[in-house]
Amino acid sequence: MISPIVPIDFVNSLESPPHLLDVRWYLDQRDGHQAYCEAHIPGAKFVDLDTVLASQPSPAKGRHPLPTPQVFADGLAKLGVGDHDLVVAYDDLGGMVAGRLVWMLRSIGLPAALIDGGLSAWEGELESGDPNPPQPVKRTVFDWPANVVATADEVASHIEAGGVVIDARAAERYRGDTEPVDPRAGHIPGAINIGFADNLDNAGRFVSPNDLKARFSTVADAADPIMYCGSGVSACHNILAMEAAGMGRPRLFVGSWSQWSSDPDRAVATGDG
């Protein structure tokens, strides 16, 4: 399968153009579709995180539960993306959001990659406006494999058994110094912190595979690691980084901190450990 992270030169070198999908979304409530309409890579189509890549939020499921397989298939079918068409996705946040789409497709065995550097990697002129919808296609509904996700109970059992659970949020949120969106501050007791933002260099590009491997060296020998973040989106950045480093693909706790912190029966830890 194609590497999970590819340079823009790779995209430009393909004989058959891939489906370019723009997955912009912002925690501060800015409008990702508006940003797309203002400027996007030529030929790219917009994908809405909240309606195509997630289902309705709830305290019991978190802020970005996975959509049903039918909803996900229908959303891509409307964009003209067939079953085995190559998808190359981007955003303007270093892949923090677009990584969710790439992880979803790769999890069901389909080809997808993240553009390293995102929108800023494109050196040509950008398009504006909202193009007419493409011709829809038929698309098979692929179920979410059980071995790519983890429930809250599975996370708790995994930690109790000595397993590795990784929190991909910024260190200040992991420690509980601040919590901008979720009910309680802190982290899952027993989880370690490897923040996704440090997968990138100062230019917003992924560091080398060797450097990524070094970042995750403390969990290199972990059996079946589980990754989480605030709502199951930015954790995918870490998952793709580990895969790019040749370290396998951790499971995703989709509900993540937004689900865990909403359950008063779940313990919360603060500080560095």
The share of the chain scoring above pLDDT 90, in percent, equals 96
Q: What is the pLDDT of residues 222-269, one digit of tens each?
A: 999 999 999 999 999 999 999 999 999 999 999 999 999 999 999 999
Cα–Cα distance measured from residue 236 to residue 169, given in angstroms and rounded to the nearest whole number? 11
The answer to whether residues 263 and 151 touch, using CB atoms and an 8 Å cutoff, is: no
Give the model's confidence band at 116: pLDDT under 50 very low, under 70 low, under 90 confident, else very high: very high
* DSSP notation for 67-101: PPHHHHHHHHHHTT--TT--EEEE-SSTTTTHHHH
For the chain, residues classed under CATH 3.40.250.10 are 5-121, 146-260
What's the start-to-end Cα distance of the chain, in Å? 37
Cα–Cα distance measured from residue 65 to residue 72, given in angstroms and rounded to the nearest whole number? 12
Instruction: Return mean pLDDT, the chain.
Output: 96
Tell me the CATH class for 146-260: alpha beta
Q: What is the pLDDT of residues 18-73, one digit of tens each?
A: 999 999 999 999 999 999 999 999 999 999 999 999 999 999 999 999 999 999 99
pLDDT score for 71: 98
Q: What is the pLDDT of residues 143-156, one digit of tens each?
A: 999 999 999 999 99
Catalytic residue among 5, 102, 229, 245: 229
pLDDT of residue 1 exceeding 80, the answer is no
pTM for the structure as a whole: 0.96
pLDDT score for 77: 97
* Lowest mean per-residue pLDDT among 128-142, 193-207, 223-237: 128-142
pLDDT score for 132: 85
pLDDT of residue 170 exceeding 90, the answer is yes
pLDDT score for 273: 79
- DSSP-based three-state secondary structure for 241: helix
The answer to whether residues 61 and 231 touch, using CB atoms and an 8 Å cutoff, is: no
Q: What does the pLDDT average to over 164-173? A: 98
Q: What does the pLDDT average to over 180-189? A: 97
The answer to whether residues 4 and 244 touch, using CB atoms and an 8 Å cutoff, is: yes
For 5-121, CATH number? 3.40.250.10
In Å, how far are 133, 209, 218 from 196, measured between CA atoms? 33, 14, 15
In Å, how far are 151, 184, 252 from 266, measured between CA atoms? 13, 11, 18
Active site residue 236: no
